[in-house]
């Protein structure tokens, strides 16, 4: 793999700048508007990875890396799930890590908050 095809950004100021600069793109717009923290557990983006696949397609991953080097992806969650008729608009989108998003599944937001509160 060509090492030049990967760019890793871990500086918070730079992460925020990149997100702001590209806010016309969907995921960047959500993180720019709603913040870079998971609305559920509070982990925040501390790593952006730009990479190019073998076919030359450019991709970007938003990541929270923990001190032990494990990580979660930061995803865009639909507050009211698309599968239940939710819409793809910024009002219905929020930042959520992949772990919380998996837990949430297809339930609307309020049910999850209840489930996670002991």
Give 91's DSSP letter: G
Q: Pick from 100, 104, 109, 112 the residue near Zn ion by CB under 5 A.
A: 100
Stretch that binds Zn ion, among 21-29, 51-59, 84-92, 97-105 (CB under 5 A): 97-105
**C-alpha to C-alpha distance for 91 and 79, rounded to whole angstroms:** 9
The residue among 95, 113, 93 whose CA lies nearest residue 103 is 113
The residue among 58, 60, 89 whose CA lies nearest residue 73 is 60
Binding mask 18-57 for Zn ion (x = CB under 5 A): --------------------x-xx----------------
**C-alpha to C-alpha distance for 45 and 104, rounded to whole angstroms:** 19
Least distance from C-beta 88 to Zn ion, angstroms?
21
User: Footprint of Zn ion on residues 53-82 (CB under 5 A)?
Assistant: none
In the complex, the residues that contact Zn ion under the rule CB under 5 A are 38, 40-41, 97, 100
């Amino acid at each position: 793999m060509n090492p030049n095809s990967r760019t890793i950004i871990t500086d918070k100021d730079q992460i925020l700048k990149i997100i702001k600069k590209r806010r016309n793109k969907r995921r960047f717009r959500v993180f720019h508007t709603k913040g870079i923290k998971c609305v559920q557990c509070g982990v925040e983006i501390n790593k952006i990875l730009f990479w190019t696949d073998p076919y030359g397609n450019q991709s970007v991953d938003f990541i929270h890396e923990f001190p032990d080097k494990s990580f979660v992806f930061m995803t865009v969650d639909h507050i009211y799930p698309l599968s239940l008729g939710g819409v793809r608009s910024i009002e219905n989108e929020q930042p959520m890590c992949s772990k919380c998003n998996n837990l949430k599944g297809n339930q609307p937001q309020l049910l999850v908050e209840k489930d996670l509160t002991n």
